[in-house]
Amino acid sequence: MTIDTIIQIGFYMFTLLCLVKPLGYYMAKVYQGKFCKTDGVFGIFERGIYRFCGIDLEEDMAWQKYALSVLWFSFVSIVFLYILQRLQNILPLNPQKFSGISSDSSFNTAISFVTNTNWQGYSAEISMSYLTQMIGLGVQNFLSAAVGMSVLVALIRGFVRCSEKTIGNFWVDLTRTVLYILIPLSIILAVLLVSEGVIQNFNPYKKIQMIENPEKIQILPMGPAASQISIKQLGTNGGGFFNVNSAHPFENPTPFSNFLEMLAILIIPSALCYTFGFMVFDTKQGWALFTAMMIIFIPMLFLCCFFEQQGNPNFDSLSVDQKSGLLQSGGNMEGKEVRFGITNSAIWATATTAASNGSVNSMHDSYSPLGGTVPLLLIQLGEIIFGGAGSGLYGMIVFAIIAVFAAGLMVGRTPEYLGKKIEPFEMKMSSLVIIIPAALTLLGTAVSVITKNGVNGISNPGPHGFTEVLYAFSSAANNNGSSFAGLSSNTVFYNIILAIAMFLGRFGIIIPVLAIAGSLARKKHVPVSSGTLPTSNPLFILLLVGVIILIGALTFFPSIALGPIAEQVLSK
Query: Where residue 328 falls among pLDDT bands split at 50, 70, 90?
Result: very low
Q: How far apart are CA 90 and CA 207, in angstroms?
A: 24
| Predicted TM-score of the model (pTM) | 0.93
pLDDT of residue 147 exceeding 70, the answer is yes
Residue 324 confidence (pLDDT) above 60: no
DSSP class of residue 224 equals B
CA separation for the pair 502, 466 (Å, rounded): 20
Whether residue 360 is predicted with pLDDT greater than 80 in this model: the reply is yes
Helix-then-strand count for the chain, H and E: 20, 4
pLDDT band at 123 (very low <50, low <70, confident <90, very high): confident
Residue 48 makes CB contacts below 8 A (sequence gap 6+) with none
Average pLDDT value for residue range 174-200: 95
How many domains does the chain fold into? 1
In the predicted model, is pLDDT for residue 327 greater than 50?
A: no
Decide if 178 is inside a domain: yes
Supply the pLDDT for residue 331.
Answer: 80
**Cβ–Cβ contacts within 10 Å for residue 532, how many?**
14
User: Mean pLDDT score of the chain, rounded to an integer?
Assistant: 90
- pLDDT number for residue 126: 87
pLDDT at 326 over 50: no
- Residue 283 domain-assigned (yes or no): no
Calculate what percentage of the chain has a pLDDT beyond 70.
95
Report, as an integer, the average pLDDT of 446-470: 90
* Residue 354 included in any domain: no
| Helix/strand/coil for 208 | strand
Given a cut of 70, whether residue 202 has pLDDT beyond it is: yes
146 inside domain: yes
Comparing 2-6, 99-103, 469-473, the range with the smallest average pLDDT is 2-6
Domain span including residue 248: 22-268
Q: Summarize pLDDT for 298-322 with one digit per residue, the tens.
A: 999 999 999 888 877 666 666 666 5
> How many angstroms separate the CA atoms of 38 and 36, rounded?
6
Residue with more model confidence, 460 or 361: 361
Reduce the DSSP state of residue 209 to 3 states and report it.
strand
pLDDT > 70? residue 73 = yes
Q: Residue 329 — pLDDT band, cuts 50, 70, 90?
A: very low
Residue 389 lies in a domain: no
Q: What is the pLDDT of residue 315?
A: 66
Higher pLDDT, 337 or 226: 226
Whether the per-residue pLDDT at 275 is higher than 70: the answer is: yes
| Size (the chain), residues | 572
358 falls in which pLDDT band (50, 70, 90)? confident
Q: How far is CA 95 from CA 125, 126, 299, 441, in A?
A: 12, 12, 47, 39
Over 50: is that where the pLDDT of 262 sits?
yes
Confirm whether 41 is domain-assigned. Answer: yes
| Cα(428)–Cα(361) distance, integer angstroms | 39
> Which residues face 208 on adjacent strands?
218
What pLDDT shows up at residue 3?
Answer: 86
pLDDT at 468 over 60: yes
Angle, vertex CA 249, rays to CA 118 and CA 323, nearest 5: 100
Residue 18 confidence (pLDDT): 96
Please state the rounded mean pLDDT for residues 496-514.
96
43 inside domain: yes
pLDDT of residue 260: 96
Position with higher pLDDT, 97 vs 37? 97
Cβ(482)–Cβ(353) under 8 Å? yes
Q: Sorting pLDDT into bands at 50, 70 and 90, what band is 572?
A: low
Q: Where are the alpha helices (DSSP H) in 249-364?
A: 255-279, 283-309, 341-354
Is the residue at 187 inside a domain?
Answer: yes
pLDDT at 200 over 60: yes
Which residues on neighbouring strands pair with residue 219, listed in sequence order?
A: 207
